[in-house]
Structure 1
Amino acid sequence: MTTTQSTSPVSKTSADPLYALYADWAQIIANTPDLTMRLFRAIFDEWHQPTKEPEDVTYREEVVGGVPGIWTLPVGADTSQVLLYTHGGGFAVGSAASHRKLAGHLAKAIGITAFVLDYRRAPEHPHPAQIEDGVAVFKALVERGIKPADITTIGDSAGGNLAIAIPLALREAGEPLPGRVIAFSPWLDMENKGETLVTNIESDALITVPLLEGMIAGVLGGKTAPNNPLANPLYADFTGFPRLYVNAGGDEALLSDATRVADKARAAGVDVTLNVVEGQQHVFPFSAGRTAEADAEIAAIAAWYRG
């Protein structure tokens, strides 16, 4: 397992566009107790704002395996390799539109394509609908001739959970696995037992335990146990799991989810790289094109992918 601790001069200041966005969201949520799901989703569709539009990348909407989404298509990309990107947002908010620019930066840095899923969201569609959609897209890509080893499941926050859970579900079904898994600030713990939910709660500009509790209730729907390995991969068996890259911001409340899953996968013999960047917020690569930390992380992921 490779673990790196990077330092950053940016912390809790307006110099970090992602921190500023999160602080604004947190204020809106705190001041609007009757916030409807429609407006909640509209707010989180602003997630793309800190991300600079990547140059030389085009987009195309398509339905793959019955699941709508957006292709990110860098000029000259190798179309035989695909990032299967599952967006974050507590399984309830976020969308392909809010994450297409981030996926575009990653695809461009690696030199391949990405498909960002608009998977079914909770609470209308509780677990395991999101995993089922990811598995459907994976199998459809394989049916199109993409080799399983040339598909990477990747996602952030709740989407990082899905990036890990989709290969677990594929293994359970006896299907081939992706070649790599990348999880940005994965939200895995459906029991809220992480120590950084306490130690980092003041430095995290967005995450609160009540926010997580509401999203847990929505996705589990009172029917899925919080220790179900496909809902909470901290309980999963990682034997035979693909190469895994995990990152997190040093200031975020979900940091211990990233460190715990890295430790668990390493104990099972998985090739794991963990990168924690100090002073950074939840899913800090969202500042791609605007902060040195985000750009360096995307470059590091591209190098890891090719390694």
Structure 2
Amino acid sequence: MMRKKLFTLLWVVAALSLSACAGMRMGSGGSAFTPADLPTGKYQAKVDNAAFILDASATMVLESGEHFARAKQMLSSFNQSVPADVSFNGALLSFGHHTSQSSALSATAWGPSPYNKGAFAKGLDGIKAAGGNSPLAHALFAAADQLKTAGGKSAIVIVSDGMQMANAPAAARHVVEKLNGNVCIYTVFEGNSAAGRALLKQVADASNCGGAVDAASLQSAAGMGAFVEQVLLTDRPMAKAAPMDSDGDGVLDDRDKCPDTPRGEFVDEDGCSLKLTLHINFDFDKADIKPEFKDDLDRAAAFIKKHSQVPY
């Protein structure tokens, strides 16, 4: 009888172990998230730095383990959606971990360094095994240290189920204070617990910007694009049009009082053709200019001197 009970117990332990190990690693399969096709040339980064935090704790691999897989897919889609010409400094952190992944409460998988799609993807791919507790607070403090060193405006994006991290809202408030309010915190809920969703909203509310969203709302290209814009992007200022000189007379249109001057004519500072009309009368059969026309002659001399470029 004892042998039968022992065999049954060992069978249950083995089954649980296999189930846990199966859930620890992200399975294969297509992504549930479609990247956005945001154009280059339209945007610039509205932040100097962005830290991305992935929940790799045991609660993310309970049941089917899909939450961990979907969280990674969401971050991968975000990375693919960032326009290629947008520049900022970034870092990718994770917390929790199965012991086969890391013994640290939180770890930096990539960065902090200038944003690079390939480097981000490689760092994300390296986070393979979830497990352990849910020390989001530790990851927040680590990210805050990195962002404090970098300086400037920052964003923090957290992808999690919000489970077993009661101290996270207080930690988020501490991070906002440490960064002098120059940070927006965004949370992406990937889980089943209403309590977890509510806790992540408290984390996001620690900053006076940011926000809390469900991962499901980011599955479409439109949803992901809107989120990337919200976190990272602002419209790039339109380049100021070069001043025009439509008639080619050397006087810009905004100052040209004679906008249709024929090509090749000499013009004054107002863009109008240079013209000199001189009426001088001579006495019959004499070369002497009458005194009353001396002022006209002086004006002509001044005109010629001022516009010496005109071939008279």
Higher relative contact order (CA 8 A, sep 6+): 1
TM-score with structure 1 length normalisation? 0.42
TM (norm. structure 2) is 0.42
Which protein has the larger Cα radius of gyration, Structure 1 or Structure 2? 2
